[in-house]
Amino acid sequence: MSRSPNHGTRIPPIEPGMTIGLYGGSFNPPHDGHRHVALTGLKRLELDKIWCLVTPGNPLKNNSSLPRLEERLEQTANMMDHPSISLTGLEQQLSSGYSAKTILWLTRKYPQNRFVWLMGADNLANFHHWRQWKRIFATLPIAIIDRPGYSLSPLSSKAAQTYQRWRLPEKEAKGLSANRGPCWVFLHGPRSHLSSTLLREKKRKGEGTGNSLDNVT
């Protein structure tokens, strides 16, 4: 059984003025690295809530083996299990895995809230391949969480270079949500070595999941 009441394709509870970190992911499967990203965003950006947007399918990935949304929602709820973290599969309702569509829909529906987009550093490296990526930058602030193997190279990516002058110093991260886009910050600090790829590989080989917080160093 899930421990989270905020399941399914519903929008999590929201009150005017709340600052919310939108954290999209495949979560196939969820792991402590995901929890680490959500907790880092919550704390360093001083957000009220994190919403994990469990995607119906990353448009840039082969999703033929992606488990059903309900299964990933269930697993992600169990992994996150935190009073300030909610889960939603609302993108399935929107019939889209395109983040720009979700972001525009949410920012229009909730003009009295502030949203921040959260993602791992690997996604900054390929962000310029996302649909309407410049529109995403223009619409809301973005926080990038460091990831082993991606501490430096994403900073020379097309997206980072294009928006270089709108990058906030890390010490100003807690004020990120008060900004309008374009505005972004790269958060260094403890990093998690976990990935869903690693866990799927371990499962395939019949090894343990190794899915523990020891992987944050």
Ligand X SMILES: Nc1ncnc2c1ncn2[C@@H]1O[C@H](COP(=O)(O)OP(=O)(O)OP(=O)(O)O)[C@@H](O)[C@H]1O
Residues contributing to the site for ligand X (CB under 6 A): 25-28, 33-34, 37, 119-120, 122-123, 145, 147, 192, 194-197
Contacted by 145, from ligand X, ligand NCN, none: CB < 5 to 8 Å by type: ligand X
Strand boundaries in 31-178, DSSP class E: 49-54, 85-88, 114-120, 142-145
Choice from 7, 49, 98, 181 touching ligand NCN (CB under 6 A)? 98
> Counting contacts by CB under 6 A, is residue 43 touching ligand NCN?
no
**CB of 217 vs ligand NCN, minimal distance in Å:** 21
- Of the candidates 144, 166, 112, the one whose C-alpha atom is nearest the C-alpha of residue 37 is 144
Cβ nearer to ligand X, comparing 178 with 213:
213
> Counting contacts by CB under 6 A, is residue 131 touching ligand NCN?
yes
**CB of 66 vs ligand X, minimal distance in Å:** 10
How far is 35 from 146, CA to CA, in rounded Å? Answer: 14
**CB of 206 vs ligand NCN, minimal distance in Å:** 25
Cβ nearer to ligand NCN, comparing 59 with 210:
59
Single-letter residue type at 72: R
How far is 92 from 95, CA to CA, in rounded Å? Answer: 5
How far is 3 from 34, CA to CA, in rounded Å? Answer: 17
Q: Is 25 helix (H, G, I), strand (E, B) or coil?
A: strand
Contacted by 59, from ligand X, ligand NCN, none: CB < 5 to 8 Å by type: ligand NCN
Contacted by 147, from ligand X, ligand NCN, none: CB < 5 to 8 Å by type: ligand X
Q: Pull the structure tokens for residue 116.
A: 């921040």
DSSP label of 16 = T
CB 29 within 8 A of CB 72: yes
Choice from 53, 73, 173, 183 touching ligand NCN (CB under 6 A)? 53
